[in-house]
Amino acid sequence: MISTTIDQEIKKAMLAKNNAQLRGLRAIKAALLLAKTEKGSSEEITEEAELKILQKLIKQRRESADIYRQQNREDLFQVEEEEIEVINQFLPKQLDRTEVAAIIETVIKQSGATSVKDMGKVMGMANKELAGKADGKLIAEIVKEKLA
């Protein structure tokens, strides 16, 4: 579970006085605690749910970083980039475009999809197959290309 690892990493970052690492780890811990309390105190969140939370955190930070870059706020942009780097440490290795495309080809063959009308079915299967390994935007883009 990611949450137990996070606690240990927070202690290490505090001892090392690594503020960038500590900021990213605290953001992860806060998001995980929030998700745990939303579901109810008796339920433990699954590893799959943890991965989704981490992907959401990265997406939020990328969007913020883009805005900061457009506004020439290099100081704030750097903070977001540092946090993205920390959060990425806890995600599985992200697949590149060619690997994702190959997996989507297989999913399309398995589902028997022939046109863009079948995109929903293909997306569901592809998201399940690529959970935590690829960005949803990239998956949708490739599925659209393959079915067009």
pLDDT at 41 over 60: no
Please report where in the chains the tokens 């100081």 appear, as a residue.
75
Q: Which listed CATH number (3.40.1260.10, 1.10.357.10, 1.10.10.410, 1.10.1060.10) goes with 97-147? A: 1.10.10.410
For residue 102, give both structure tokens. 């190959």
Q: Residue 122: pLDDT band by 50, 70, 90 thresholds?
A: confident
- pLDDT, position 130: 82
Which residues does 111 contact at the CB level (< 8 Å), separation at least 6?
118, 121, 122, 125
CATH classification code of 5-89? 1.10.1510.10
Angle at 110 between CA 112 and CA 130, to 5 degrees: 120
Q: Residue 28: pLDDT band by 50, 70, 90 thresholds?
A: very high
- pLDDT, position 91: 85
CA separation for the pair 137, 31 (Å, rounded): 22
CA separation for the pair 97, 40 (Å, rounded): 38
CA separation for the pair 84, 89 (Å, rounded): 9
Domain residue spans of the chain: 5-89, 97-147
Q: Which of 13-27, 29-43, 59-73 is predicted least confidently?
A: 29-43
- pLDDT, position 40: 64
Amino acid of residue 12: K
pLDDT at 12 over 90: yes
Tens of pLDDT, residue by residue over 62-110, are 999 999 999 999 999 999 999 999 998 888 888 888 888 899 889 888 8
